[in-house]
Amino acid sequence: MSGLKGYVAAALGLALMIAAVPSAGGAAAHWKEPRIAGASEGAVVLGRDLDGDGDPDEVTIRLEVIEVTEEVYPGEFVKFWVFAPEGQGMAPIARVPSPTIRIEQGDRVRLVLLNTHYFPHTIHPHGTIHPNAMDGVPDITQAAVKPGEAFTYEFIAKNPGTFFYHCHVQPDVHVLMGLAGMLIIEPNRPNNNFSHLVLGAGRIPDLARAQVEEGYDREYSLVYMDIDSRLNRIPAAYKDPREIEKRMHREYDSTQRQPNIFLLNGRSFPFTLRDTPIEVKSGERVKLRILNAGARPMKLHTHGHHPTLTHLDGYPVPEAMRVTRDVFDVGAAQRIDLELRPGSDDVYASGPGVWIMHDHTEHTVTNKGISPGGDITAIVYEGFMGDDGLPKVATSLDRFFDPEYYRGNVPVFDPAIFNTTREDYEYGWPEDEPVGGKFSYPVRETE
């Protein structure tokens, strides 16, 4: 638990990176993108207001490709590749998942891919209406962008909604290494000024006009991933890109993939509670934009709450078909938008508290097979967030912040409840054969 303070400080630091810069006024530039700490001046450039409605309609976003190591749960450090806003000087600003990108319907968008990585990559805007040449599929619509080269994806944002962007080079490896993020096209409204990049996804700091009109008070960008740590280990183990290519793209058989780490916004429980809780107040309406950037079907369950499905793959669900459920299917690459109505109405919500939300495919609620872990986060009502940056819970979460817990070195149940001690448990265990005869079962892989 010693590292907890540092973790909280890190989370606060991330929040402080986004601080709105007041607009200078004048006809041309009403709005300047909030400066992301560490990003270059050119990372997000807003241009002219083409339709004269008080917001910029030219958006240029420059993205690098960065290899980054993140502690996803206590003691588990994983290497990812992510798209990251162009950094200033030598210090990249990378965070898994790749940033949530927000643009407005009608915008002239330029996504500049600066390939600062050792492998070729592209960007495929998934679900948007765009010219064929901007589809980002290597060999089919363009040559893959080689290391040290750049490519500009240029399109006019057409259909509003929740979309997806990802690398399309060797996608069974590159997408699952983290080259994937949420892409939001906001409906065109006057004076629609909002931040264009949300690092690490999560809480949307400023609602767009259409969401305010819809009556939403808050909005969250939730990006789910599943990874096979055996793949992510390869780039850490070899130095020569040619050797990494052989191991990752030819030896590693993605059909034999076994995901063992399950992430929400780049974190697994318990870090999800600290870094990506869903904070709400009774009476609010909260928009949840959900992307499954992994490779398996999810069954997303909200405890105590019954959200309503408003959009599928970015497009509105007709009013009569808006189902209200407590488990939602989200297939690979799919997006769902949910309307969450916190409160105590006996229909949609059960009242204030700390209510967990997680994939109900049970083995995914673990960290490499040790529960609780995975993508569990919590709907945390006002007054239920503690000063330590964690939700106020019934007992204590301390043991889950101890890396030894997830290494399997801490009994899940305190041996004292069995009228024994930990020493007896560890060292006094008889070596007798099981009474039911010999049998085998899958055993956790230890590194």
Binding site for Cu ion (CB under 5 A): 121, 167, 169, 174
What tokens appear for 205 in the block? 């700091």
CB 258, CB 239: distance < 8 Å: no
Least Å distance between CB 144 and Cu ion? 8
- Decide whether 121 or 218 has the Cβ nearer to Cu ion: 121
Backbone angles phi, psi at 399, to 5 degrees: -65, -25
CB 103, CB 112: distance < 8 Å: no
Helix (H) or strand (E) holding 227: strand 218-227
- Decide whether 168 or 196 has the Cβ nearer to Cu ion: 168
Coil, helix or strand at residue 236 = helix
Phi/psi region, residue 441 (left: phi>0; alpha: psi -120 to 50; beta: rest), is: beta
Least Å distance between CB 225 and Cu ion? 15
- Decide whether 46 or 176 has the Cβ nearer to Cu ion: 176
CB 296, CB 268: distance < 8 Å: no
- Decide whether 121 or 196 has the Cβ nearer to Cu ion: 121
- Decide whether 174 or 341 has the Cβ nearer to Cu ion: 174
- Decide whether 124 or 274 has the Cβ nearer to Cu ion: 124
Least Å distance between CB 61 and Cu ion? 17
- Decide whether 45 or 167 has the Cβ nearer to Cu ion: 167
Rounded to an integer, what distance in angstroms lies between the CA atom of residue 185 and that of residue 274?
Answer: 28
Least Å distance between CB 65 and Cu ion? 7
- H helices of 156-298, where? 171-174, 209-213, 229-232, 234-237, 241-245, 271-275
CB 220, CB 287: distance < 8 Å: yes
- Decide whether 174 or 289 has the Cβ nearer to Cu ion: 174
Rounded to an integer, what distance in angstroms lies between the CA atom of residue 439 and that of residue 47?
Answer: 67
Among the listed residues 104, 108, 105, 93, the one whose alpha carbon sits nearest the alpha carbon of residue 63:
93
CA distances from 283 to 175, 186, 338, 343, 354 (A): 38, 24, 16, 5, 16
CA distances from 33 to 196, 197, 389 (A): 7, 9, 28
CB 295, CB 176: distance < 8 Å: yes
- Decide whether 31 or 165 has the Cβ nearer to Cu ion: 165
Question: What is the DSSP secondary structure assignment for residue 90, as one 8-state letter?
Answer: T
Least Å distance between CB 239 and Cu ion? 19
Least Å distance between CB 377 and Cu ion? 28
Least Å distance between CB 439 and Cu ion? 43
